[in-house]
Amino acid sequence: MKDYYQILGVSRSASSDEIKQAYRKLAHKHHPDKGGDEKKFKEINEAYQTLSDKEKKSQYDNFGTTFEGAGQGFNGWDFSSMWGNRQGGGDFEFDLGDLGIGEIFEEMFGFGPSPRRKKDIKKGKNIEIAIEIPLEDVLKGREREISLQKSISCSRCHGVGAEPGSSVKECFSCRGTGQVQQIRRTPLGSFTTVTTCPECGGEGFKPDKPCNVCKGEGRIKGKEDVKIFIPAGVDSNQVIKVEGKGEAGRRGGKPGDLYVRIYIKKHPVFERKGDDIHTSVPISFSQAVLGDEIEVSTLAGNKIILNVPSGTESGKVLRISGKGIPFFSGVGRGDMYVELKVKTPKKLTKKQKELLEEMKKEGI
């Protein structure tokens, strides 16, 4: 049976630093790329993966490669409660209860989730922000510049993570894969799992000399001015995606994306309903009775002439085609609806009162 302590040449009382130092020395010596024995290198790596992990080391120290005494429990499990009746040397019967077999094995042997891909590890996070714009801004596509405090690419190492003049090399532990294999021996047999490489954090590469500014991250906290194009017809709570303007990736990894949530300010005169615009305009009693042409302002600030038909009642709504919000698709636009409200005068001149009295006599 393999003795991991003997393989690394350390005592059972060796500290984690001593174990790591011994591993690095042997790994450099036996690395296949340096003419070493590949089988020996894998054996050294296997030993280090076990002894460098506190939980795995404890399990190994308690049970060894033969797992002596494992019948009394492994990693907190009581095997005797799991085995069924074993008559005549027959097969074991498991009582898994409500757990699935995957959950049983993960709990028993410490199988963690599959290691992340290198591109997922290095990719920067997405950012979501909210901005408020006036209602008038939805009539035309506009460009807006905002300042973001976020992770940006390090200007000294240009995002590589290494000091200028030094290089980034393939990780000698995982040979650039970002993953290492680990063998677990259990009463049920040997199990091989793939875990994230502890030396490079799953990236597969490490700088010889980390950048003095970003400490090898390839990114630092800073400010970036970002231009955002807000298309015509955008509506409140709509999200615009700006690719590559999120957090910078680690060591040259792909940056995240920026998501901009739009909110429309309330307008004092116009109300938006879908792609239509609604407003109200006051008219006099005589205009309502006799009819008239009135001047009405649009959301764009233009003036148009609106015909008020004779006999108009207060609350009547007139539609003006094509004076609403542009469709987000870019083709066509909504309408403008004008509600006519007949004003009741609060104060009248003597002549006005006389005229109204005459109209009253005429039944108007």
**Helix locations, the chain, DSSP H:** 4-8, 16-30, 38-51, 54-63, 101-109, 118-122, 285-290, 350-361
Give the largest Cα separation in the chain, rounded.
121
Tokens of 105: 């094995």
Residue 64 burial (10 A CB sphere; 0-12, 13-18, 19+):
middle
Bridge partners, residue 304, by sequence: 296
pLDDT for the residue 171: 84
Show the domains of the chain with their CATH numbers: 117-167+208-265 (2.60.260.20), 271-361 (2.60.260.20)
CA distance 296 to 318: 12
Tokens of 143: 């460009």
pLDDT for the residue 139: 94
Q: CA nearest 262: which of 89, 102, 138, 361?
A: 138
CA distance 107 to 317: 70
CA distance 209 to 207: 5
Query: In tens digits, what is the pLDDT along the chain, a chain of 364 residues?
Result: 678 888 899 888 888 888 888 888 888 788 776 667 888 888 888 888 888 888 888 878 776 653 333 433 344 444 443 444 444 444 443 443 444 444 444 444 444 444 445 546 678 999 999 999 999 999 999 999 999 999 999 999 999 889 998 888 888 888 888 888 877 777 767 777 888 888 777 888 888 899 999 998 899 999 999 999 999 999 999 999 999 999 999 888 899 999 999 999 999 999 999 999 999 999 998 899 999 999 999 999 999 999 999 999 999 999 999 999 999 887 899 999 999 999 988 888 888 888 888 877 877 7
CA distance 192 to 147: 49
CA distance 125 to 222: 15
Instruction: List, for residues 319-348, the tens digit of each pLDDT value.
Output: 999 999 999 887 899 999 999 999 988 888
Bridge partners, residue 189, by sequence: 186
Tokens of 296: 């009405």
pLDDT for the residue 87: 43
The whole-angstrom distance between residue 19's C-alpha and the CA centroid of its chain comes to: 38
Give the other-Cβ count within 10 Å of 113's Cβ.
8
pTM of the shown model: 0.59
